[in-house]
Amino acid sequence: MPLRTNAAVLIAGLSLLLPGCSGKKKPEQAPRPPAPVVVATATQRDVPVLLRAIGTMEASESVTIKTQLSGELTKVAFKEGQDVRKGDLLCQLDSRPYRAALKKAEAALARDLVIMKNARENYGRYHQLVKEGIVTQEQAEGYRTTAESAEASVAADRAEVENARAQLSYCTITAPISGRLGVLTVNQGNVVKANDSSLVTINKLTPIFATFSLPEKDLAEIKRHMAGGRVVVEAEVPNQPGVVEKGTVTFLDNGVDAATGTIKLKATFENSRKLLWPGQFVTVSITLSVRKNAVVVPSQAVQTGQQGQYVFVVKPGMMAELRPVGVGPVYQGGTVIEKGIQPGEQVVIDGQVRVIPGARVEVKQPGSAGPAKAAPNGAAAPAPATAKGAVPGA
């Protein structure tokens, strides 16, 4: 048993001495290559301070066309989706029954006019005979009553004629407003009922309204700007980046919605190009003021970590520095930096995942595999023109 223990100790000792006697050194680790990045230069410019919200477009006027009569739809004078002017013919109903009713009313009026004329003449003669003492006053009063009754019949007939004319005019349906027509819901040849279902809807698109809500904390600022004059609103046209329509605030609701803590506003846009459409969702913005000489970097430069938001800054010697920053509003692809960045500093806008704070970086042109041309004296490479262009207004 002692022999086995001594052999184990001897083997263990030899295993510790052999590496030291081999004469070989552990290979050194290769230096980490510089991380490839794309940079842009922080710029200084004026940035508007905006209130932004999601709004819904509404037609400035919308009319649903219904028939005021029952009858056959004999003519449709428009195409779905076309623009019409006020007074343009839209539809025609069968007018024959209503023309007959008008002629009947006119005939009744003509008859009663003759009766009224004779009654007045009879009353006039008997009134004169009363003065001459030939007939009694009671006899003359009977003719006066007959004349007055005839006059009432004529008044009723005239009302019937006016009503018949109105009914006949309802057979011709014209556009009550200028605008764009929607879908025709009843085809020619169908029999329609009065005030039953709509035939078509007309929406007025010029001008057009945008309805949106803003937090109640902004109410005082909005009221102050409205009291000072025209408040300009911009609406971003959906699916057309960079295309905006300008309008003005024309309505401020008279109360705050207690459930949401917001207040409703309405803006009016001329919409002469008809880029905005009823029912669309748009992003609207109100410019309250302008921040002078703000430091702006491309929004993709701003990263978020456990300690907050930060930016990688490329220092002289191509060293990366993680710089905590305070950010302000975002405008047209750029973010205002409240603190942490000075104008002219180089910030990383692409490749942040490979950057280690304090390590070297290699500035590359956007979309290329090769490094950008280094600046003299070890200064950081200038931002490529396309990267600078990422900052709006640079």
Q: What is the pLDDT, as a whole number, of residue 39? A: 94
Domain 71-93+174-197 CATH class label: mainly beta
Tell me the fold of 51-60+204-291: Elongation Factor Tu (Ef-tu); domain 3 (2.40.30)
Does the fold of domain 51-60+204-291 match that of domain 35-45+293-388? Answer: no
Is the pLDDT score of 126 beyond 60? yes
Q: pLDDT value at position 114?
A: 94
Q: Could you tell me if 249 and 266 are in contact, meaning their C-beta atoms sit under 8 angstroms apart? A: yes
Spell out where the chain has E strands: 35-41, 43-65, 71-76, 83-84, 89-93, 172-174, 179-181, 191-192, 200-215, 232-236, 244-252, 262-269, 281-298, 303-305, 308-315, 319-324, 326-331, 334-339, 346-350, 361-363
* pLDDT confidence tier of residue 28, bands split at 50, 70 and 90: low
Residue 19 has pLDDT above 90, yes or no: no
Q: Which residue has tokens 């913005």?
A: 285
Residue pair 333/299 in contact by the 8 Å Cβ criterion: yes
pLDDT, residue 333, reads 87
Mean pLDDT (the chain, rounded): 86
* Residue range 41-91, pLDDT digits in tens: 999 999 888 889 999 999 999 999 999 999 999 999 999 999 999 999 999
Alpha-carbon torsion (168, 169, 174, 176), positive or negative? negative
* Higher per-residue pLDDT: 221 or 78: 78
Average pLDDT over residues 178-205: 94
Which pLDDT band, with edges at 50, 70 and 90, does 389 fall under? very low
Question: For residues 115 and 8, what is the distance between their CA atoms, to the nearest angstrom?
Answer: 148
Q: What percent of the chain has pLDDT over 90?
A: 64
| Closest C-alpha to 119, from 154, 145, 155 | 145
Could you tell me which of 296, 334, 375, 385 has the C-alpha nearest to residue 38?
385
> Which residue intervals of 253-389 are DSSP H helices?
385-388
Contact 364, 381 (CB under 8 A): no
* Average pLDDT over every residue of 108-129: 88
Q: What is d(CA 112, CA 201) in angstroms, rounded to the nearest whole number? A: 44
Which pLDDT band, with edges at 50, 70 and 90, does 288 fall under?
A: confident
Q: Where are the domains of the chain?
A: 35-45+293-388, 51-60+204-291, 71-93+174-197, 95-170
178-215 burial, b if ≥16 CB within 10 A, otherwise e?
A: bbbbbebebeeeeebeeeeebbbbbbbbbbbbbebbbe
CATH number of 95-170: 1.10.287
Q: What is the mean pLDDT of residues 326-343?
A: 91
More confident residue, 11 or 221: 221
Q: Each residue of 295-322: pLDDT tens digit?
A: 999 999 999 999 899 999 999 989 999 9
Reported as a pLDDT band with limits 50, 70 and 90, residue 368 is low
Q: Which CATH class is domain 35-45+293-388?
A: mainly beta
Question: What pLDDT is recorded for position 26?
Answer: 56
